[in-house]
Structure 1
Amino acid sequence: MSSVGNLKEIGSLFFRLGLVAFGGPAAHIAIVHKEVVVKRKWMDESHFLDLMGATALIPGPNSTEMVLHCGHHRGGLRGLVLAGVSFILPACILSGLLAYLYTEAVKIPNFSDYMIGVKPVVLILIFQALKKLAPKAIKNYSLAFVTLITFALCFIGVNEFISLLVGGSIGLILGLYKGDTRVKSFPLLSIFYIFTKIGAILFGSGYVLITYLQKELVENRGWLTNSEIADAIAIGQFTPGPVLSTSTFIGYLLGNSTGALVATVGIFLPSFVFVYFLNPYIPKLRDSLKFSLLLDGVNAASMGLMAFALYPLGRISFLHPGALIIFLVTLILTWKVPKLSTVYLVSISILLGSILTFFNIGQQWP
């Protein structure tokens, strides 16, 4: 097939996946594997696994970086750019639209009361992500210690990047020691800087993004509230594609459509750069013992960051007794129907919150 034909195939495939890829990074990578390795045979299993390992060595959204690697493998630099834009664009457009509707909806009297069911569901989503990722990241007692140290550092107010760096370094040192072989208006330049910085240092699952957003936008600058961050993360679950498309939503809250564009470009740009420069060195990196030990430490530390995100969200999630009711209902649903789509889960929580608010149930604690 000609290079033009390759590019058309790349664009078509990843745009379609960007429209239907719900379920988070692990699900996205499974879908990409099925399409690229099993169905189209662009590469073999071993090379796909090498690419997966490489994405974990660099910051940024893992599933998006896998898409970028596959695009580069099939179509070079043009394939990398086309695959990334095709995969990211649908989610970002939908997130921007939802952000516009959200800013209009807050004008509705008592709108926040109708949204009481959203924040508890965010807690469940983080719990689910931790349940899936923690067993892979925390493979021994040393890495469990790294997770706890990172959580503790965040709890006492240490910068999240410093916490992650310390956790990763401790993991490396312990591994070597043991001989282990395993719509407001804010400056656009500031918005771009914040989201580019996050995109350049974000290790682990996209859900770790919550911790960075809370630190940068709530604690450091006071531009948003914890409640607004929770709403953005939850409503962002309506969209397929990368979890980091939530940045489009938050960018809109900070600077309307221009802010949404700036935040989106900022958070995804580092991934394009990292993948482009890393791709030729993947065969060498996979054989590096020290890199693998450092990676284990960073992955375990990211679990600590994700767990810490539960703390500030939990404090604002149960301000109304109705929120506790919705939390219990959705928790039972996820237990009984573990494969229930995130879209359905968030939709059910909003519906329950609206019903309880309409009938004035559970609005105040006794």
Structure 2
Amino acid sequence: MNTTTATAPGYTLGQLVLYMLRLGTFGFGGPVALVGYMHRDLVEQRPWLSEDDYREGLALAQMMPGPLAAQLGIYLGHVHYHIIGATLAGIAFVLPSFLMVVALGWAYAHFGGLSWMQAVFYGVGAAVVGIIAMSAYKLTTKTVGKNRLLWAIYLTLAIVTVLTESEIAWLFIAGGLINWLVVAPPKWLSKSGLNAVATAQVPVASGVLSGFDWPLLAQIGLFFTKAGAFVFGSGLAIVPFLYGGVVTEHHWLNDKQFVDAVAVAMITPGPVVITVGFIGYLVAGFAGACVAALGTFLPCYLFTVLPAPYFKKYGKLPAVKAFVDGITAAAVGAITGSVIVIARRSIVDWPTILLALATVLLLWRFKKLQEPIIVIAAALIGLAVYPLIHTHGF
């Protein structure tokens, strides 16, 4: 099937968009599961795309900043239907979960003061710490391995994240540059061009909507566009970055609201990064949700569409790979540091300690256990335990 790209596609654009809508609506299990579903459905079962098409898309998605599954979906739309295919496939994949988190944001804003909702997030917040801890462990073993330089970059970012409780974006780029200079010397610099791409994404989503709080929407657009440009390795990489900006710098949300926002991303299908829609809604209503989502996903869209035609030629250059390895190690270090930062807020008593530990043990023991199941169980435990501990309520 390797000639698929050169011949007429065996499917319509409408069929692909419907598939992406369905995957975005029912695709639980995180980025690794989602990219697995795409391979099974689009390469093995249908087959609409060739193995080569899929592998190239996956390699590009792993290399560029942005949520893995969303970028792969955008690339697969680009294979036969180019810009229009990439655009519609990306929107179809992200839209269902965006609408879900906006609805949850509305419910949270209107009913967040109710004790039952606090009880749910009491349990879920602790489980989220366990989920992120296991993700950090898996990413560390997979991306850092035994490479001493990558370990140094990783540990530096982990320590900085814990100490500052925020994300320092330029350290990501520094990690990539250091690894590039050591692994693939400067003669490759002129060919890689990735450094310029990674730093070129400046605010593009501000002021999309008129008639609202323009200064706030512009701030949201700027911040989330910057965040979207540095989500390397996994959707969870955005968590420490968002915490630094949303809680520490801008004070848009408090600690508890932020952890709840991450929890919402865990219990909805689609990309984890969609939590930005929930955060945007809490900050500035529906307009805030739209601007936050657009700001986050626009860089990932551009990082996929712009290099797609050239990726076959330049994707395997040693300089490009070394740069990406360094940035990925930095991102995973930041995720690991964020586990400690978020745990300080969510782990507040013995039940939450036990919940977080139980989550880690379950994910360790049962490799195929889906995270939404744990989150739902934690919510039920929270409903049962929270009233017993907080007898006075709120």
Which whole-Å CA distance do the structure 1 matches of 2:263 and 2:184 have between them?
A: 40
Which whole-Å CA distance do the structure 1 matches of 2:347 and 2:230 have between them?
A: 31
Partner in structure 1 of residue 47 of structure 2: 41
Range with greater deviation from structure 2 (57-66 or 149-158): 149-158
Partner in structure 1 of residue 160 of structure 2: 153
Partner in structure 2 of residue 343 of structure 1: 372
Partner in structure 1 of residue 299 of structure 2: 270
For 1:260-310, what per-residue CA distance to the aligned partner results, in whole angstroms no more than 9, with x for missing partners? 111111111122222221110111222311111111111111110110111
Q: For 2:313, which of 257, 263, 284 is the aligned residue?
A: 284
Work out whether residues 154 and 163 of structure 1, in 8 Å CA contact, stay in contact via their aligned partners in 2: no
Range with greater deviation from structure 2 (75-84 or 324-333): 324-333
Q: Does 1:162 align with 2:170?
A: yes
Instruction: Quickly say closer, same or farther: Cα 1:186–1:94, change in 2 above 3 A.
Output: farther
The runs of 5 or more residues in structure 2 that have no matched partner are: 1-6, 186-212
Which whole-Å CA distance do the structure 1 matches of 2:143 and 2:344 have between them?
A: 27
The runs of 5 or more residues in structure 1 that have no matched partner are: 178-183
For 1:139-184, what per-residue CA distance to the aligned partner results, in whole angstroms no more than 9, with x for missing partners? 322222221122233344385212211222222233237xxxxxx9
For 1:26-75, what per-residue CA distance to the aligned partner results, in whole angstroms no more than 9, with x for missing partners? 11111111122212333332332222221233211111010000001121
Which whole-Å CA distance do the structure 2 matches of 1:255 and 1:107 have between them?
A: 18
Partner in structure 1 of residue 60 of structure 2: 54
Work out whether residues 204 and 302 of structure 1, in 8 Å CA contact, stay in contact via their aligned partners in 2: yes
TM-score, normalised on structure 1? 0.90
Counterparts of 1:204-243 in structure 2, within 5 Å, are 204-243=233-272
Partner in structure 2 of residue 181 of structure 1: none
Work out whether residues 133 and 360 of structure 2, in 8 Å CA contact, stay in contact via their aligned partners in 1: no
Work out whether residues 169 and 294 of structure 1, in 8 Å CA contact, stay in contact via their aligned partners in 2: yes
Which whole-Å CA distance do the structure 1 matches of 2:236 and 2:160 have between them?
A: 19
Which whole-Å CA distance do the structure 1 matches of 2:94 and 2:76 have between them?
A: 14
Which whole-Å CA distance do the structure 1 matches of 2:89 and 2:242 have between them?
A: 27
Work out whether residues 167 and 334 of structure 2, in 8 Å CA contact, stay in contact via their aligned partners in 1: no
TM-score, normalised on structure 2? 0.84
Aligned residues: 357
Q: For 1:144, which of 143, 147, 151 is the aligned residue?
A: 151
Q: Does 1:190 align with 2:223?
A: no
Counterparts of 1:9-24 in structure 2, within 5 Å, are 9-24=15-30
Work out whether residues 150 and 166 of structure 1, in 8 Å CA contact, stay in contact via their aligned partners in 2: no
CA RMSD of aligned residues (A): 2.4
Work out whether residues 153 and 329 of structure 2, in 8 Å CA contact, stay in contact via their aligned partners in 1: yes
Which whole-Å CA distance do the structure 2 matches of 1:143 and 1:128 have between them?
A: 20
Partner in structure 2 of residue 74 of structure 1: 80
Which whole-Å CA distance do the structure 1 matches of 2:351 and 2:167 have between them?
A: 34
